[in-house]
Structure formats: C-alpha cells, structure tokens
Copies of this chain bind each other. A is one copy, B any other.
Amino acid sequence: MAQTKSYWASIEADIEAHLRTAIPVRQPVAVFEPMRHLVFTAPKAKAPALCVAACELVGGDRTQAVVAASALRLVHSAAHAHEHLPLMDRPNHKPVIHHAYGPNIELLTGDGIVPFGFELLARSVGSGQNNSDRVLRVIIEITRAIGSQGTIDGQYHELHQGARCNEKWIEHVCMKKEGELHACGAACGAILGGGSEEEIEKLRKFGLYVGMMEGMLNWVGGNDEEGLMDAVDRLRVMAIKELENLSGRNVEPISSLVEVASLCNL
C-alpha cells in the first residue's frame, strides 16, 4: 500500500514539475499569473496520473506521457474555472468556491488554458522521435473528452438538472464528465506508450469506470445513496475485469484506483 501511494505521488510530482516549467510567468503577468493560480489550485482529477500509469503499464516510458498528462490537468482546471463562473442564469447548484479573481479574468484564463494545453502537446513532437501520429491521435482524444460529447455534455446536463436528480441522471453526468476524462487519460497513456489497440481499449474502459466511480462518489449523501453505492460496486467489478484481461502486464499499481479508499486518499 505504501508503495502504491508513493507510486502515485511520484507521478503527481512529475506532472507538477512539468507544469511549473511549462507555465512561465511572463508578460502579460496579469494574464499568466491567474493561469498558474487556477491550474495549481483546481482540485486534481486522477485522469492525468492515470495517463502516466497507463503508459508505464503498456511498457512505455514516463517521459512519453507527462506532456499529455499535463495537458489533461490544464483542460480539467479550465473546465473547473468555467464551471464555477457566476453567470446570471445559473442555479446555485455548485458549492461556492473561493474566487481569487473576478469572473472576467477567470473566463479569459480558462479560455487561454485550453489552447495552451494543445500547444504543449503539439510541441511535444520531438525530432527523430517519430511520434507525430501518436500525438495527433492524443489531441483528438482530448478534444473529444472535453468537447460537446464529453465534459460539455455532462456540464449541460448537470445545469439542466430539474427534477431528474436520480441515479440514472447522476450516472450520465459522471460518465460524460469524470468518466470520459479518465477514459481519455488512460487511452492517451496507452497510445503514447505504444500499447496495442486491444490494450488501449481495455484501459479506456478501465478509465471510464474509474472516472465514473470517482464522480459518483461525490454524489453520495443524497436521497438515493444505496442505489448509487450499488452502481459504484458494479463499476468496480467491471473495472477489475478489464485489468484481468491485460495478461502479462503489471496491473498492481493501477488496480489500486478501484479501491474506494484510494480514490480519496491517493
């Protein structure tokens, strides 16, 4: 357990180090300073770390995935900033967060972070590395995860909650938000690490289930707690099943993600 913890901690430290170098404090400071702030204070999803772990699982090197993981962290923090923008037609569905800047700066900063994530990715194609096809594929994966059929779909449904706050609705929102992002993270890591198509798809499914679990656990405490916990249990079984099929790979570190406790404590 201690070993697993230090494994994830080392991944997070590597992503953090990469981002600190990648996001410079440069002119205009009034634009870049909030970018650093929003990226480093947003709650962390496990999707970026999962990207690195999936890369290593299929035999890749950590350095092959750290840029994609950083890009995932960037787009996730942008989504978080926009999700909490105080807009006139938003019901108070979100916990009030501390806003270090006004809505205007947080809107612009989010708008600046997303292209920056894609810039990092596109620039990560190394001369002689011959990885441009993989990087292009990862760009497509991330655009889809954060786009109108991914995060945006989830955010849309979350905002139009109405009376539909039942287990099925929660499952859909969590699939589109946390699910797609983690699925994308795992798939990107496997792509960059040189995994087979079968491995990529298995890890994608694993990520989907883990992300959904992470999302759904945030909803526990409402009316339908028992139904929700049953759904989380089903997802855990499905996630473990995907790993079982990855024969010959060391699935131990990654499998720790399906333990509920580890979702909160790692």
Contact = CB atoms under 8 A, between A and B. Distances in A.
A146 B115 contact: yes
B86 A88 contact: yes
Contacts of A118: 115, 118, 139, 143
This chain: copies in complex: 2
Contacts of A111: 79, 82, 110, 114, 146, 152
Interface in A114-138: 114-116, 118-119, 122-123, 125, 132-133, 135-137
B140 A123 contact: yes
Contacts of A108: 152, 155-156, 159
Interface string A48-88: 00000000000000000000000000010001001001111
B156 A30 contact: yes
Interface string A135-178: 11101101110111000110111011000000000000000000
A233 to B, nearest CB: 28
Contacts of A232: none
Contact of A85 (B107, B136, B139): B107
B104 A152 contact: no
Nearest to A155: B108
5 contacts: A31-B156, A87-B107, A104-B159, A108-B156, A112-B147
